[in-house]
Amino acid sequence: MNRYVTPVRRALFGHPARSVVFAFALVVLGGAALLSLPAATEGRSSAGSVTSLFTSTSAVCVTGLAVVDTGTYWSGFGEGVILGLIQVGGFGIMTMASLLALLVSGKLGLRMQLTAQAETKSLGIGDVRRVLLGVAGTTLIVELSVGAILSLRFRFGYGMSHGDAAYMGLFHAVSAFNNAGFGLHADSLTRYAQDPWVTLPIAVAVILGGVGFPVLLEVLRHRRRQRLTGRRGWSLHTKLTLGTTAILLVIGTVLICLFEWENQGTLGAFSSPRKVLNGFFTSTMTRTAGFNSVDTGALRPSTLLLVCMLMFIGGGSAGTAGGIKVTTFAVLGAAILAEVRGEPTSAVMGRRLAPHILRQALTVALLGIGLVMAATLVLLTVTKASFEAVLFEVVSAFGTVGLSTGITADVPASGQLVLTLLMFIGRLGPVTLVSALALRERTRRYQLPEERPVIG
């Protein structure tokens, strides 16, 4: 028996990246089983297998795409399952397992540390315990703080009962920080489009969750150090993540306002300050959050294309956001700039980028483009929706965003299964691929003869 068990165990757990994928798959299947129970739906009739699997994958992969209305289709038990899946998915299966190991034994084994390192992107094995505890503390503080603000607003601004306001606030806070985009209203947050006390806290939670845990922890750590030494020395990763995120947020806000300013179906019906507010909110949600304060289906084609580009880029590494990540985008931009200038190496902010970093960024980006194109082609053959709507849906699934033009429920079961697989790959693909590439890196003891093919 051991002859057969050992190879299977090695195939599933022999590499930290494979362990992450296997753990996520188990949680997805477990969530689908729970959502298939009659108690999970309002009508006490079991949800279909495709609906359960799609919703579970969307929650665990913190996407937010839905084939049914979360607030009316699922019961309180079903909503609780979805909320739990969002929290587990955003926090990271391996991170959660590592924390449980810490609580039980007070220490981490080498394999558990390597597995946690693959999920959290910590730079050294000795840092894993500190990172895990920091992740737990950061998650708790942000979610409770944003949940409290939202609960107070729902209670005193909209007359909800204390229980309903607390539940609404906590649900949306957890969904926002984990960049999930699940809401309890069929129209997402459009009813709160002119209320900054709802939209801004959610936007802040999305940004904090999207930049990544290593960035948040480093900013907090160096802030304390700056008080003692007066110096602030952020790593290149933190500088790239914060700088690129800020630039993309500003560009997205400006262009969305420019494209939609007179569109009566979106921003045109608001006053100028509210137009800017919702332009910023929409730009923030493309960081892979998925909430919408305006009708996404009413966006102009130019805005849809812009949102597709922002969704594909995504947010920060080792956070709750998806996409190819802003650091990947920044590294590729640095490589292009160096090539245009004729420089032999790429540099960013006074630091030279290692060649293998450029190869990893190029691999992630090109595989992402290929996956999006292939999925778009498949969906165009099984649905009658327009090309722009299908492309938007596919990019939203790959980037684990959750924004939709409204075609998700109308896609046939085969198309929904394609989107399910795309969400799973989009959430785990980049982290698994980069982890595998990094751990397999080896030095070649010889060099092949050089030859230059014609490019362009």
- pLDDT tens profile 228-270: 555 557 888 888 999 999 999 999 999 999 999 999 999 998 9
Alpha-carbon separation of residue 37 from 40, 45, 250, 376 (angstroms): 6, 8, 45, 32
pLDDT bracket for residue 138 (50, 70, 90)? confident
* Predicted pLDDT of residue 232: 58
CA distance 363 to 368: 8
Q: Catalogue the E-assigned strands of 350-402.
A: 351-352
Q: Whole-number mean pLDDT of the chain?
A: 84
Alpha-carbon separation of residue 85 from 78, 180, 263 (angstroms): 11, 10, 37
* Predicted pLDDT of residue 43: 76
Full domain range(s) for residue 136: 8-439
CA end-to-end span of the chain: 56
Query: Is the confidence at residue 361, as pLDDT, over 70?
Result: yes
Q: What angle do the packed helices 76-91 and 49-60 form, to 10 degrees? A: 40
3-state secondary structure 112-164: HHHHHHHHHCCCCHHHHHHHHHHHHHHHHHHHHHHHHHHHHHHHHHHCCCHHH
Residue 378 C-alpha from the chain's centroid = 23
Segment 51-78 mean pLDDT: 91
Residue 236 placed within a domain: yes
Contact predicate 274/244, CB 8 Å: no
CA distance 86 to 278: 25
pLDDT bracket for residue 441 (50, 70, 90)? low
Contact predicate 81/89, CB 8 Å: no
Q: Which tens digits make up the pLDDT trace of 307-329?
A: 999 999 998 877 778 889 899 99
Residue 3 placed within a domain: no
The two structure tokens encoding residue 211: 């930049």
Element (H, E) at 347: strand 347-348
Residue 86 placed within a domain: yes
* Predicted pLDDT of residue 16: 58
CA distance 59 to 31: 9
Q: Which tens digits make up the pLDDT trace of 187-205?
A: 889 999 999 999 999 999 9
Element (H, E) at 348: strand 347-348
More confident residue, 351 or 430: 351
pLDDT bracket for residue 17 (50, 70, 90)? low
Residues facing residue 347 across a β-bridge = 352
Residue type, 456: G
Residue 453 placed within a domain: no
Residues recorded for the chain: 456
CA distance 6 to 189: 50
Q: Which residue has the tokens 């995504």?
A: 314
Q: Is 117 left (phi over 0), alpha (psi -120 to 50) or beta?
A: alpha
Residue 100 placed within a domain: yes
Residues facing residue 46 across a β-bridge = none
Contact predicate 286/179, CB 8 Å: no
C-alpha radius of gyration, the chain, whole number: 22
pLDDT bracket for residue 113 (50, 70, 90)? low
Segment 95-114 mean pLDDT: 53
Please state which of the ranges 93-107, 168-182, 285-299 shows the lowest mean pLDDT.
Answer: 93-107
Residues 6+ apart with CB under 8 A from 118: 16, 17, 19, 20, 94, 431, 432, 435
Residue 395 C-alpha from the chain's centroid = 12
Alpha-carbon separation of residue 72 from 45, 186, 377, 417 (angstroms): 13, 8, 33, 23
Residue 449 placed within a domain: no
Residue 89 C-alpha from the chain's centroid = 10
Residue 424 placed within a domain: yes
Number of structural domains the chain divides into: 1
**Reported pTM:** 0.86
Segment 273-299 mean pLDDT: 92
Residue 448 placed within a domain: no
Alpha-carbon separation of residue 424 from 14, 255, 365, 395 (angstroms): 21, 30, 17, 13
